[in-house]
Chains A and B, each alone.
Chain A
Amino acid sequence: MKQPPIRRRTIAILAWLLGLMMCVVVIARTTFTADLSAFLPASPTKEQQVLLDQLRDGVVSRLILVGIEGADAPTRAALSKGMAQKLRSDAAFVTINNGEPVHTEKDQAFLFGNRYLLSPAVTPERFTGQGLHDALSETIDMLASPAGMLIKPLLPRDPTGEMIKLFEQMNAGNRPRMSHGAWASRDGERALQIAQTRAAGADTDGQQLAMAKLQEAFDTAVKGQGTPAASAKLVMTGPGVFSVLSRQTIESEVTRLSVIGTLIIVALLLTVYRSFTALVLGLLPVISGAVVGVVAVSLGFGLVHGITLGFGTTLIGEAVDYSIYLFVQSRQGSADASGASGASPDWVADFWPTIRLGVMTSIMGFASLLLSSFPGLAQLGLYSIAGLVAAALVTRFVLPHLLPVDFRIRDVSAIGNKLSMLVAPASLLRWPLLLVTIAAAVVVTQHRATLWNAELSSLSPVAKEDQATDARLRADMGAPDVRYMVVVSGKDREDVLVSAERVSEQLAQLVEKGVLAAFETPTRYLPSVASQRARQASLPSDDVEQRLKQATDGLPVRAAVFAPFMQDIAAAKVRPPLQRSDLDGTSLALAVDSLLFKRGDQWSAILPLTAPESTAHTIGISTEPIRAALAAAGQENALFVDLKAESDHLYSGYLREATQLSLAGVAGILILLAISLRSLVRVVRVMLPLAAAVITVVGILVLCDQRLTILHLVGLLLTVAVGSNYALFFGARRDATISPQTLTSLLFANLTTVAGFGLLGFSQVPVLQAIGTTVGPGAVLALVYAAVFSAQGSTVARDAKAT
C-alpha cells in the first residue's frame, strides 16, 4: 500500500493494457451468430428436443417456398420451369418441385412394381376366393365410373386395385393447382415452387447461399424470357429464409444503432467537456467494458449472439456515466486542490463508494439473469456484469492515472447552480407524482390479464410483411405447417417402422372419423420388414388360378384375363423385402429420408398430422383423441408433439422463470442496500423512486397497447440498475445537500443513458425495441422520481433524521 504513486500508476496502466490485448486475442477467435440459438433452451425436454431438431435440421427447416409474381400466367410458368431446370442440377438443393412431372414416372413405376409389399390392404382374406371376388367387383364398378378410363389399363395386372389404394393414401393432402404446366396459387396470380435445400435450416450461411442461387436462377430465367418477364418478381419464404432475414436485420441494426448511439454520446460529451482529451478518456471505460463483456460471453457460452452485441450499445449508455461522475467531480476537486495531479482524493472518498454501490446494485440485478435457462438472457446477464465491472474498475483504478496534470473540462457550475434551483422545489411535485404512480398502478392492475404476450413469435425479428408473405405462400401451396406430429423413436430402423405402423393403424381410424384430415408416415413407402413378410405370406402361391376361377364366378370377366396378375403375385411372393436403397431415384426416397432418420444411435420416425379444415367449433387438432389413439397403439416410444404449443410453452417457461429471477434480483438489491446503508428509511428512500418509475413505465406501455414480453422485463431490471445510481446519489449519501456538480453529472449521465437506450426503441428487432422503450422513459422517470422523492430537505427526510 505504501508503494510510490508512480509505480502504482505504471502497474495499473500496464495491467489494463495487457488485459485489453488478451481480450482482443479472444475476440478474434470468437464465433458470432445471429440464428435462433439465443431463444432455444440449453437442456430441453423430450418434446422440446423434437422442436429443436425440427428447427435445426428437420425437413421443414430445409424448405424454401418460392413464389413468382407479376407478369402474366404463361410467363410465370415459363420462369418457374426455367428456374427449376437450372436448380435441379445444383448440389445446393435436394429437390426442386414446381409440379412438373419429373419423378412421376419413376415414382409410379416403384409403387406399381412393389404394390403387394406396400399396400396395407394386402391381407390373407383379400386373396381368398371371396376376397378376390369382392375386390374384383369393386374394380369392375370403378371401370363404369368417369375415372374408369384411367384404371382400365391396370386391370389385368392389378385386379384388386392396390395401386388405386396406394394413390388414395398418398393424394390425401392438398396440392397446388396447375397452370401452364407448373404450380400456381389458387387465385392464379402466382407461380409456385418448393425448394428443399441440402443445408440444414440452422445453417444460416448455407440458407443464404441457397437464396442467392434461387435469385440468380430467377434473374437468368427472366433474361431468357425477355420483355414479358420484366415485371416479374421473386418472393421466398421458409424457416431458413427467416433465419437469413433476421440475421441481416440484426446485423444492420446492431451496426446502425452502435454508430448512431456512439455519435450521439460523443456529441453530447463534447458539448459538456469541450475537450477531446476528456472525450477519449471518457470513452476508455466504455470500450474496455464492451470488450470485456464480449470476451466473458465468448468464454462462458462458446459463442456470442448478435443480439448481445446490439445490447452492447446500451452499455455505452450506462458505463459512460462513471467517467462523467469522475470528470465533473474531479474538476471541482482539482480546482480545490490547486494543481494536484489527476483525480483528487476527495473523489475517491466522496463518490467512489456511491458508484461502487451503484455498480453492485446493477450486478445484483443482472446476476439473476445469469441463472436463466433462456440462453439469450443469460448472455445479456454475463455481458452486463462483466462489462460494468470492467468499466467501473477502469474508471476507478486506471482513468485517474491517465488524467493530465492540467486536466480541465468546461466549468459546469453555472448549469449545476441552475439545476440546484430547479431541484430545490422538486418536493412540491411529490403528491402529483404519487398520484401519477397510483394511476399507473391502477392501469397495470386492470390490464393484468392481458399484460404479457405469451407467444414466442412475439420475439421473432422477422418483419410483419415477411410473416404475411409466408402465410400467403403456405396457404397457396397447401403446405403443411407441420405443427402437429407423432414422433416414434427406437434402437433400430425396423423397431421404429414396426411401431410407426401400429400408430398409423390408429391414426387411419382418426382420419376415417374426421378427427384428422390426413397424416403422413414413412411406412407408406418403406414398410417394416415384418409387414412386408406378412403381406408376402398373404399372397396365394400355387392355387391362384383356382381362387381366381372362384372369384370371377358371376362376374363379367374371365380368369384368363388375369395372367399378368398371377405372374406379378408369384414374383412378389419370393422377392427380398424392400430396403431404403430400393427407393433411390424416386421422390419417395426424399420423403422417407425426411421422415425416418438416425440421430446419434437413435432412430426416429416422424408422422406429421394434418388438421381438418377449421370449423366454427374447432381450430387445429383436438389432442385427446390423438393421445387416446397413441395409448391404444400401445407404443411407449411414440410421442405426440404440438410444435406451436411446445414453443409457446417453452417461452412461457422462460417468462415465468425470468419473473422469478427478477424478483430474486430485486430482493438481492434490497439486501445489498440494507447492508450498505444500514438504515431502513434510506433503503426505502432509494427504492421508492425506482419502484414508482417501474410502475409508471409499465403503465405507459400498457396505455400504448404494448403487450409485455420477457425483454420488457429485462428492460425493467435495467431501469432499476441504472436508476439505482441516481437514487443512491439523491437518497443515500449522508450529507444533507446534493452539490450542483453532482446534479450536473447526474443529468449528463441520464442524457447519455437515454440516448443509448432510447435509440433501441426505434429498432426493428423486437428484442432490442422492447428494451429501448422500457429503459428510455424508465431512466428519465427514475431520475425525476429520485429528485422528487429522495431529495434532502424534505419533511419526510427531516422526520426520518429526527428518529
Chain B
Amino acid sequence: MIAWSPRSSWRRILAIVLLLAMQPMTASATGWDIDQLMQSLAKTKAGRATFVEKKYLALLDRPVESSGELRYTAPDRLEKRTIKPKPENMLVDGDTLVLERGRQKHTLQLQEYPELAGFIGSIRGTLSGDRKALEASFRLKLDGPADRWTLTLFPTDSKLANSVHLIEITGARDNVRSINIIQTDGDRSMMTIERVASQ
C-alpha cells in the first residue's frame, strides 16, 4: 500500500491531474463527458439495488463485510438497509440523517458531520446527476467510455480532505456499479452495487 504524506500526495495528484488533463478532451470527442453522464444519471428518479461493502482497515486483519439494500428517490432521499452482519438502517432525507441500530435511534444533521456529509453528498450527487452539488465539495474527473466509466471525486473541502483522499465511482451508462472510498490513512471501503430491476 502506498504511504501518503500530505506534501508528496499533493505533488502526485498534481502530476496525475496534468497527465490526465488531456483525457476529457478525448472523451468529449467520442461524445461522452461529465455533463452527458450527469444527464443520463439524472433520468433515474428512483431505484433499488443490493450492495456488498468491504472495508479494509489497517487495524483489522481481514476486511469487514456488510451487505444489504440501497433505495434511492430523487433528488435527495437515500436509504441504506444493512442486513448483515447486524441489521441497521440509515436514512438520509435532505439534511437529516437517521441511524437506527437495535433499539437505538439517532438523528443527525449532516451539517454537523462534514465527513459523513461529504461521503453521502458524493453518492447522492452522483445518483441524481447533480454536477453543481458535486462540484461544491469535489473536483471531478471522468475516465473511460460511456459503458464503463469511472468518475473520480477529489474533496476540495479542507475538513473532508483531512480524512477522505478520493472517492471513485464506476458504472455503465446510467447504472452505478461501485463506490470506492479511499481515506487519507490508507483505509478503503469498496462497495459493489447490483441494480434490482425497477418495478
Binding site for B on A (CB under 8 A): 140-150, 152, 155-156, 168, 171, 177-179, 181, 512, 556-558, 561
> A99: nearest residue on chain B (CB-CB)?
B112
Report whether B60 and A144 are in contact in the complex, using a CB–CB cutoff of 8 Å. no
Report chain B residues within 8 Å CB of A146.
80, 88, 90, 99, 116
Question: Would you call B82 an interface residue if the criterion is a C-beta within 8 Å of the partner chain's C-beta atoms?
Answer: yes
> A174: nearest residue on chain B (CB-CB)?
B107
Question: Would you call B55 an interface residue if the criterion is a C-beta within 8 Å of the partner chain's C-beta atoms?
Answer: yes
- Bitwise, B62-101 to A at CB < 8 A (1) or not (0) is 1011100000000000001010011010100001100101
Report whether A561 and B88 are in contact in the complex, using a CB–CB cutoff of 8 Å. no
Report whether A149 and B119 are in contact in the complex, using a CB–CB cutoff of 8 Å. yes
Report chain A residues within 8 Å CB of B59.
152, 155-156, 557, 561
Report whether A557 and B99 are in contact in the complex, using a CB–CB cutoff of 8 Å. no
Instruction: Give the complex CA separation of A558 and B163 in angstroms.
Output: 24
Q: Which of A140, A144, A178, A556 neighbours the largest number of chain B CB atoms within 10 Å of its CB?
A: A144
A285 shortest CB reach to chain B, Å = 68
Name the contact of A178 in the complex, choosing from B57, B103, B112 (C-beta under 8 A): B112
Q: List 8 A-B contacts (CB under 8 A).
A: A141-B85, A142-B101, A144-B53, A144-B64, A145-B88, A145-B99, A148-B64, A150-B116
Report whether A143 and B82 are in contact in the complex, using a CB–CB cutoff of 8 Å. no
Q: A149-B119, A152-B59 are in contact. List 9 more A-B contacts (CB 8 A).
A: A140-B64, A144-B55, A146-B90, A147-B116, A148-B64, A150-B115, A152-B57, A171-B106, A557-B61
Interface residue count for B (Cβ, 8 Å)? Answer: 32
Instruction: Give the complex CA separation of A558 and B57 in angstroms.
Output: 13
Knowing A143-B55, A144-B53, A144-B66, the reply to whether A149 touches B60 (Cβ < 8 A) is no
Instruction: Give the complex CA separation of A178 and B53 in angstroms.
Output: 30
Report whether B82 and A145 are in contact in the complex, using a CB–CB cutoff of 8 Å. yes
Instruction: Give the complex CA separation of A149 and B86 in angstroms.
Output: 17
Report chain A residues within 8 Å CB of B10.
none
Report whether B99 and A147 are in contact in the complex, using a CB–CB cutoff of 8 Å. yes
Report chain B residues within 8 Å CB of A168.
104, 106
User: Which 3 interchain pairs have the tightest Cβ spacing?
Assistant: A556-B62, A144-B66, A144-B64
Report chain B residues within 8 Å CB of A171.
106
Report whether B111 and A141 are in contact in the complex, using a CB–CB cutoff of 8 Å. no
Name the contact of B111 in the complex, choosing from A147, A152, A178 (C-beta under 8 A): A178
Question: Would you call B113 an interface residue if the criterion is a C-beta within 8 Å of the partner chain's C-beta atoms?
Answer: yes
Report whether A149 and B106 are in contact in the complex, using a CB–CB cutoff of 8 Å. no
> B84: nearest residue on chain A (CB-CB)?
A144
- Bitwise, B105-125 to A at CB < 8 A (1) or not (0) is 010010111011001000000
> B80: nearest residue on chain A (CB-CB)?
A146
A216 shortest CB reach to chain B, Å = 30
Knowing A141-B85, A144-B85, A171-B106, the reply to whether A149 touches B64 (Cβ < 8 A) is no
Question: Would you call B130 an interface residue if the criterion is a C-beta within 8 Å of the partner chain's C-beta atoms?
Answer: no
Instruction: Give the complex CA separation of A141 and B60 in angstroms.
Output: 12
Instruction: Give the complex CA separation of A177 and B96 in angstroms.
Output: 9
A107 shortest CB reach to chain B, Å = 15
Question: Would you call B143 an interface residue if the criterion is a C-beta within 8 Å of the partner chain's C-beta atoms?
Answer: no
> B113: nearest residue on chain A (CB-CB)?
A150
Knowing A152-B187, A171-B106, the reply to whether A141 touches B115 (Cβ < 8 A) is no
Name the contact of A145 in the complex, choosing from B101, B109, B111, B163 (C-beta under 8 A): B101
Knowing A144-B85, A145-B88, A150-B113, the reply to whether A177 touches B55 (Cβ < 8 A) is no
Q: Which of A146, A150, A561 neighbours the largest number of chain B CB atoms within 10 Å of its CB?
A: A146
Binding site for A on B (CB under 8 A): 53, 55, 57, 59-62, 64-66, 80, 82, 85-86, 88, 90, 95-96, 99, 101, 103-104, 106, 109, 111-113, 115-116, 119, 163, 187
Knowing A177-B109, A556-B64, the reply to whether A143 touches B119 (Cβ < 8 A) is no
A121 shortest CB reach to chain B, Å = 14
A44 shortest CB reach to chain B, Å = 40
> B110: nearest residue on chain A (CB-CB)?
A178
Report chain B residues within 8 Å CB of A148.
55, 64
B53 shortest CB reach to chain A, Å = 7
A138 shortest CB reach to chain B, Å = 8
> A164: nearest residue on chain B (CB-CB)?
B104
> B103: nearest residue on chain A (CB-CB)?
A512
> A511: nearest residue on chain B (CB-CB)?
B103
Instruction: Give the complex CA separation of A156 and B96 in angstroms.
Output: 30
Report whether B90 and A144 are in contact in the complex, using a CB–CB cutoff of 8 Å. no
Report chain A residues within 8 Å CB of B86.
141, 144-145
A450 shortest CB reach to chain B, Å = 42
Instruction: Give the complex CA separation of A557 and B96 in angstroms.
Output: 33
> A148: nearest residue on chain B (CB-CB)?
B55
Report chain A residues within 8 Å CB of B104.
168
Instruction: Give the complex CA separation of A156 and B185 in angstroms.
Output: 15
Report chain B residues within 8 Å CB of A558.
61
Report chain B residues within 8 Å CB of A149.
115-116, 119, 163
Instruction: Give the complex CA separation of A145 and B100 in angstroms.
Output: 11
Report chain B residues within 8 Å CB of A140.
60, 64
Instruction: Give the complex CA separation of A171 and B80 in angstroms.
Output: 22
Instruction: Give the complex CA separation of A693 and B155 in angstroms.
Output: 82
Report whether A556 and B109 are in contact in the complex, using a CB–CB cutoff of 8 Å. no
B72 shortest CB reach to chain A, Å = 15
B114 shortest CB reach to chain A, Å = 11
Report chain A residues within 8 Å CB of B163.
149
Q: Which of B57, B62, B90, B115 neighbours the largest number of chain A CB atoms within 10 Å of its CB?
A: B57
B52 shortest CB reach to chain A, Å = 11
Q: Which of A149, A557, A561 neighbours the largest number of chain B CB atoms within 10 Å of its CB?
A: A149
Report whether B65 and A144 are in contact in the complex, using a CB–CB cutoff of 8 Å. yes
B58 shortest CB reach to chain A, Å = 9
Instruction: Give the complex CA separation of A556 and B60 in angstroms.
Output: 5
Instruction: Give the complex CA separation of A179 and B110 in angstroms.
Output: 10
Instruction: Give the complex CA separation of A557 and B63 in angstroms.
Output: 10
> B62: nearest residue on chain A (CB-CB)?
A556
Report chain A residues within 8 Å CB of B90.
145-146
Report whether B109 and A178 are in contact in the complex, using a CB–CB cutoff of 8 Å. yes
Instruction: Give the complex CA separation of A168 and B55 in angstroms.
Output: 24
Instruction: Give the complex CA separation of A95 and B62 in angstroms.
Output: 47
B43 shortest CB reach to chain A, Å = 27
Report chain B residues within 8 Å CB of A142.
101
Report chain A residues within 8 Å CB of B82.
144-145
A582 shortest CB reach to chain B, Å = 27
> B104: nearest residue on chain A (CB-CB)?
A168
> B111: nearest residue on chain A (CB-CB)?
A178
Report chain B residues within 8 Å CB of A561.
59
Report chain B residues within 8 Å CB of A177.
95-96, 109
Report chain B residues within 8 Å CB of A141.
64, 85-86
Report chain A residues within 8 Å CB of B57.
143, 152
Report chain A residues within 8 Å CB of B103.
512
Instruction: Give the complex CA separation of A641 and B160 in angstroms.
Output: 48
Report chain B residues within 8 Å CB of A178.
109, 111-112
> A512: nearest residue on chain B (CB-CB)?
B103
Report whether B60 and A557 are in contact in the complex, using a CB–CB cutoff of 8 Å. yes
> A558: nearest residue on chain B (CB-CB)?
B61
A301 shortest CB reach to chain B, Å = 51
Instruction: Give the complex CA separation of A556 and B106 in angstroms.
Output: 28
B160 shortest CB reach to chain A, Å = 11
Instruction: Give the complex CA separation of A556 and B57 in angstroms.
Output: 10
Report chain B residues within 8 Å CB of A155.
59
Instruction: Give the complex CA separation of A150 and B116 in angstroms.
Output: 8
Report whether B64 and A143 are in contact in the complex, using a CB–CB cutoff of 8 Å. yes
> A188: nearest residue on chain B (CB-CB)?
B95
Instruction: Give the complex CA separation of A152 and B64 in angstroms.
Output: 12
> B96: nearest residue on chain A (CB-CB)?
A177
Report chain B residues within 8 Å CB of A179.
111
Instruction: Give the complex CA separation of A149 and B162 in angstroms.
Output: 13
> A156: nearest residue on chain B (CB-CB)?
B59
> A159: nearest residue on chain B (CB-CB)?
B59
Report chain B residues within 8 Å CB of A152.
57, 59, 187
> A181: nearest residue on chain B (CB-CB)?
B111
Report chain B residues within 8 Å CB of A150.
113, 115-116
Instruction: Give the complex CA separation of A144 and B57 in angstroms.
Output: 10
Report chain A residues within 8 Å CB of B65.
144
Instruction: Give the complex CA separation of A780 and B38 in angstroms.
Output: 83
